[in-house]
Structure formats: C-alpha cells, structure tokens
Amino acid sequence: MDQKALVAEICDQADIFLAGVTVLKEARAGIAEWLTINHPSLAPEEKKAVVAESMRILESEGFFEAEPGEER
C-alpha cells in the first residue's frame, strides 16, 4: 500500500477516530491501532513511518490545539 495514500486517509479521518484527543502519545497509539485494524498486513517499519508522517502533518495543521467543538 502506498504510504502517502495511507497518511492522507488517516489525516482525512482523524476527526472521527481521534476526536477529543489532545495528548500526542494517545494520538500515536490511536493511529497505530487504526492501522492495525484497517491495514493488518502493513509491515512494522511501514507502520512506524506512516504514524510519524501522519503525526507530523496533524501537528503542523494544529489538529491537537483545537478546542472541543472547534473546527480543525
């Protein structure tokens, strides 16, 4: 699977499966869990890279700074 496509999918759906998460450690765990459920054949090194890139993008977009109820 294309890592860029996975990162885009995660970032597009982050409002759903990371709703209310503001602690980065919890967000990383949530993304890793989402990958395990939705893409179980993903190799561990690919999973780590996808989690890192997803976190980088979400952090740069201010995803974890939004208050509950605010648009992210």
Whole-model pTM over 0.75: yes
What are φ and ψ of residue 68, in 5° steps?
-55, 135
- Cα–Cα distance measured from residue 41 to residue 39, given in angstroms and rounded to the nearest whole number: 6
Tokens found for residue 21: 């998460």
Mean pLDDT calculated for residue range 31-52: 96
User: Is pLDDT of 71 > 70?
Assistant: no
User: Is pLDDT of 72 > 70?
Assistant: no
Displacement of CA 35 from its chain's centroid (Å): 9
pLDDT tens string 6-26: 999 999 999 998 998 889 999
User: Is pLDDT of 68 > 80?
Assistant: no
